[in-house]
Structure 1
Amino acid sequence: MTNSLRPHGQQRAPLPPAQTPTSGVPSPRPPQTPHAGTTPAGPDAKPAKQRDAFFDNAKYLAIVLVAMGHSWEPLTDHSRAAEALYMVVYGFHMPAFILISGYFSRSFDMRADRLQRLVTGVAVPYVLFEIAYSLFKKTADDDPSHPISLLDPWYLTWFLVALFVWRLTTPLWKVVRWPVPLALAVAILASVSPDIGDDLDLQRVLQFLPFFVVGLCMKPEHFQLMRRREVRILSVPVFMAALLVAYWAAPRMSSAWFYHRDSAQELGVQWWAGVVMTLALFGCSMVLTACFFAWVPRRKMWFTVLGAGTLYGYLLHGFLAKGSRFWGWYDDYTWLYKPLGEIFVSLVAAAVITALCTPPVQRAFRFAMEPKMEWAFKRDAAELARSRSKSKS
């Protein structure tokens, strides 16, 4: 059986039971039935499972916050308020993405078709964009010495590496007795291990791991709890308190803690601070993520369709985000550091990321984001048997 959310009144598909799709987050792929893109034939065929607007809305709103956060980064050295807002948003936008990734990975196993989707939807985009980002840095930043290395993800591609590793380990987390405490223990050990190094950005992979495992353990009723009216009301003072705490902490605390890419020793503190901060940030991130989900619309909105293209927006906006630094846009227009300028930057970031998630952009870059690559894989034995039976009939 599957724990995925099911629209009211929809009947289960005939045996074998349909399983929850394993699309990643951000993900370009809509949830699919076993034969994606086809309409069931025959008078007894059941209607295809519909997307849940809540998750598409959550993915779109989270990717907008990601883009805004990247646009605020140059402003944080000049504005304490911008730094506080930056810290609050970084406290939950990636944890929210990762949690949803885990939730939609619950049915992942080592079945051939799922491994193929993992390769074409995660591994191949990683290779292509890691090369593209490296070439972009060489030229736009005038840095010819920057290496092209698939072992050292640069900028946004770390998420694809992490998603690949997390999903491969999904069967393990489904059989252990206490998956979340174990994942937290792994994250804590990573936070106090400076020798892990930069290969495959393993610090981030391991320190963000608990959010993915929480998603694996969640059920539809958990999201229903977060949608309750009292949770929405309570989330308002919680967010206000978080902003006040962040405003106080801004000059006293490094925002690098929220990136989860360094050990405690690399951040210049004692090892035990890594233990404390990992647990504290995990708790804060889970609370803020719940508050974020509480305000995500449940119904279909004008931007719901964009939730299927968040991987496009995520990876493509990185060229503009980094280009704005390489080309000195923030230095050329000093008015951007004033309150109205900060608002302008936020609106531009939201507009750009929205445009990059639209269907025309998806069609233009589908060759890189979700290539079919049928030539690279053996055909499934059951599919071959079906093809032979059809040819004989």
Structure 2
Amino acid sequence: MGHTISTVRMDDALGWGIYTYIYLFHMPAMILLSGVFSRPETTPRAVRSTFQLLITWALWEGLWAVLRFVFEGDDLSSKFLVSPAWSLWFLVSLATMRILLPYFARLRHPLLCSVLLALAAGASPAIGSEFSASRTLCFMPFFVAGWLARDRGWLAGDWFMRPARRTRAIAWGLLGIVALGFVAVPQLREVWRLDSWLRWRDGYAYMLEDAPLGSLEPSTWWGILLTGAGVRLLLLGIAAAMILALLLVTPRRSGVATAWGARTLYIYLLHGPIIWALRESGAVERISALGGAEGSVLGIAVLLGIGAAITVVLSMRWVTKVFHPLVEPRFEPMFARP
């Protein structure tokens, strides 16, 4: 849903607000949940799982290269397999996080160290989109927190497993307050391009130049470092709070979405070409303009509906059967028998 409105988010305050709201927490949440199901081990099973991610990533990098060559005439970029194509950065980051987790697990304070590393990453302009290095370091605290939450039983109490009505009300209130912030301050996008900071891939110096905080323009290296690290720490804290609130309001009983949750990798990979086709054909722009200048609400609503529909369709069982070779290719012959 975020990708359906990403190219038209600057057309009006509504689209920008919804996009920024989603990006405040959605990838941190996915990465925290990935950490919950990860182990700091180098067993054959763990190695195969990580290798599966890398094989899938390399396959889809090739598919995107072919797609762009056929329809756009783009030759193979010099950054092929260096800067992941569009949403494929997640696979690279997830594989890297799994490789790093055993080392973080050896530390006395792994979560604190991961946060400090995330803050320090923005100080170097050399840490960017290559091999998704910046996002890996920035999102590592959520991955480590997910592992710690399960390993140390942080979420095993009744307050989380069976949250009371008051607890759920507080969680809903937090999510609502953040949303109301965008409604109450529509000028925020003109004062501060918060959505640019939520890409998590550039250094502080570049971000404070490209998306400055109003009139605040630090010029010294320490001013840039402190300001950038302060903003990043704030965004990490907001994301953590929103993730906890989201998990608290999530129903505990099984439902239709429970089965869909096992197929999220199919949605994540397969929605990309669909959204790309909608963008390249001009459909996204035409839909966003439904109703003329006053119809941005209708256009955004339709685009979000399309995003939701794509999610539902790609969650169906037949999709996993048809596209299994592309999403989870078999590579067992590459490994020695146990």
Shared fold per TM-score greater than 0.5:
yes
Pairing 1:150-165 to 2, within 5 Å after superposition: 150-165=81-96
Pairing 1:40-51 to 2, within 5 Å after superposition: none
The code of the aligned residue for 1:207 comes to C
In the other structure, the counterpart of 1:364 is 322
How far 1:146 moved relative to its partner? 4.2
CA contact (8 A) 2:28 2:239 kept: yes
Q: C-alpha deviations, 1:74-109, integer Å up to 9, x for none?
A: 33212212211211111111111100111110x341
The code of the aligned residue for 1:251 comes to E
Shift in alpha-carbon separation, 1:165–1:217, aligned structure 2, 3 A:
same
Whole-Å Cα distance in 1 between the matches of residues 174 and 203 of structure 2? Answer: 28
How far 1:201 moved relative to its partner? 1.7
Whole-Å Cα distance in 2 between the matches of residues 73 and 196 of structure 1? Answer: 24
In the other structure, the counterpart of 2:167 is 231
Equivalent pairs counted in the alignment come to 311
In the other structure, the counterpart of 2:216 is none
CA contact (8 A) 2:172 2:249 kept: no
Whole-Å Cα distance in 2 between the matches of residues 339 and 132 of structure 1? Answer: 35
Q: C-alpha deviations, 1:338-365, integer Å up to 9, x for none?
A: 2122111111111111211222111112
In the other structure, the counterpart of 2:297 is 339
Q: Runs ≥4 in structure 1, deviation > 4 angstroms?
A: 145-148
Could you say what secondary structure the match of 1:303 adopts?
helix
In the other structure, the counterpart of 2:21 is 88
Whole-Å Cα distance in 2 between the matches of residues 253 and 323 of structure 1? Answer: 31
1:316 pairs with 2:270: yes
How far 1:233 moved relative to its partner? 0.2
In the other structure, the counterpart of 1:250 is 189
Whole-Å Cα distance in 1 between the matches of residues 169 and 69 of structure 2? Answer: 49
Q: Which of the residues 310, 333, 336 maps onto 1:375?
A: 333
CA contact (8 A) 2:83 2:130 kept: yes
How far 1:221 moved relative to its partner? 4.8
How far 1:243 moved relative to its partner? 1.6
In the other structure, the counterpart of 2:59 is 128
Shift in alpha-carbon separation, 1:96–1:192, aligned structure 2, 3 A:
same
The code of the aligned residue for 1:162 comes to S
In the other structure, the counterpart of 2:145 is 214
Pairing 1:295-314 to 2, within 5 Å after superposition: 295-314=249-268
Shift in alpha-carbon separation, 1:318–1:223, aligned structure 2, 3 A:
farther
How far 1:148 moved relative to its partner? 6.5
Could you say what secondary structure the match of 1:76 adopts?
helix
How far 1:282 moved relative to its partner? 0.6
Question: Going by fraction, where is helix more abundant, 1 or 2?
Answer: 2
How far 1:284 moved relative to its partner? 0.2
In the other structure, the counterpart of 1:292 is 246
Whole-Å Cα distance in 1 between the matches of residues 314 and 136 of structure 2? Answer: 26
Whole-Å Cα distance in 2 between the matches of residues 111 and 377 of structure 1? Answer: 13
Q: Which of the residues 76, 90, 93 maps onto 2:9?
A: 76
In the other structure, the counterpart of 1:116 is 48
How far 1:164 moved relative to its partner? 0.6
CA contact (8 A) 1:140 1:327 kept: no
1:263 pairs with 2:223: no
Whole-Å Cα distance in 1 between the matches of residues 167 and 32 of structure 2? Answer: 19
Deviates more, 1:175-184 or 1:317-326: 317-326
CA contact (8 A) 1:138 1:146 kept: no
The code of the aligned residue for 1:339 comes to V
Larger radius of gyration: 1
How far 1:134 moved relative to its partner? 2.3
Q: Which runs of 5 or more residues in structure 2 are unaligned?
A: 213-223
Whole-Å Cα distance in 1 between the matches of residues 58 and 328 of structure 2? Answer: 12
The code of the aligned residue for 1:94 comes to M
How far 1:137 moved relative to its partner? 2.6
1:241 pairs with 2:177: yes
Q: C-alpha deviations, 1:190-231, integer Å up to 9, x for none?
A: 112112243202111111111111111103551653451222
Whole-Å Cα distance in 2 between the matches of residues 320 and 147 of structure 1? Answer: 25
Whole-Å Cα distance in 2 between the matches of residues 143 and 332 of structure 1? Answer: 25
In the other structure, the counterpart of 2:220 is none
Give percent identity, aligned residues only.
Answer: 26
Shift in alpha-carbon separation, 1:142–1:253, aligned structure 2, 3 A:
farther
Q: Which of the residues 107, 116, 122 maps onto 1:185?
A: 116
Whole-Å Cα distance in 2 between the matches of residues 367 and 134 of structure 1? Answer: 18
Q: Which runs of 5 or more residues in structure 1 are unaligned?
A: 1-67, 381-393
Q: C-alpha deviations, 1:291-350, integer Å up to 9, x for none?
A: 111121111111211111100100110112222222211333421762122111111111
Shift in alpha-carbon separation, 1:222–1:351, aligned structure 2, 3 A:
same
The code of the aligned residue for 2:112 comes to P
